[in-house]
Amino acid sequence: MAEQSQGPVARTVLQQCLSARLQVEPGEGGAEPRFVQIDRGMVIYVCFFKGATEDILPRMVSTLLNLRLCESSQGKMVSVLELPGSVLVVPQATLGGKAKGRGMQYHGNIGKEDGQRLYAAFVSRCEQELRAAGSELPLEHGTYGNRQVLKLDTNGPYTHLMEF
């Protein structure tokens, strides 16, 4: 398939949180909705573009988990691994949106199946790196393709954008 020769193939937005809760199964047919929750740590909103492959994941995950994007209780900027904090991964296809007139288009986004596969590999690699760093804190993640019903409590989100 045609790879994009220019521009990023993945976009992430990072926010630190005191706690975050995300719906992973909507309540349907009388069932209760199911949620996951993390305490202190980092929310990673992630979107893959056309041309993204698993090749980018090692650098991408290592960068996100090791960049100093979080504030320690001593007021020092540290990585989520150093904090140490939990991680909540939120698939967020809207991040690939481009304005056309008053509407948003998502033509640059990766296709559904490739996206789902990459997302699963991304989550799994985050989990591995967290464990390799000795962290026993939870990594939670949203369900690809679902509505991401999210509740966030922060002491300053320190919102960052990282593209790969």
Residues found near a second copy in the complex (CB under 8 A): 11, 13, 45, 63, 66-69, 77, 79, 92, 94-95, 97, 99, 102-104, 147-162
Closest to a second copy by CB, 104 vs 132, is 104
Short-list 119, 153, 122, CA closest to 15: 153
Least separation in angstroms between CB 62 and a second copy: 10
Least separation in angstroms between CB 34 and a second copy: 16
Query: What is the torsion angle, in degrees rounded to the nearest 10, for the CA atoms of residue 120, residue 123, residue 124 and residue 127?
Result: -170
Measured CA to CA, the distance from residue 145 to residue 92 in angstroms comes to 9
Closest to a second copy by CB, 11 vs 40, is 11
Least separation in angstroms between CB 69 and a second copy: 7
Closest to a second copy by CB, 54 vs 153, is 153
Query: For residue 56, with 0-12 CB atoms within 10 Å meaning exposed, 13-18 middle and 19 or more buried, which class applies?
Result: middle
Q: What is the DSSP letter of 49?
A: B
Measured CA to CA, the distance from residue 82 to residue 66 in angstroms comes to 8
Closest to a second copy by CB, 2 vs 101, is 101
Least separation in angstroms between CB 96 and a second copy: 9
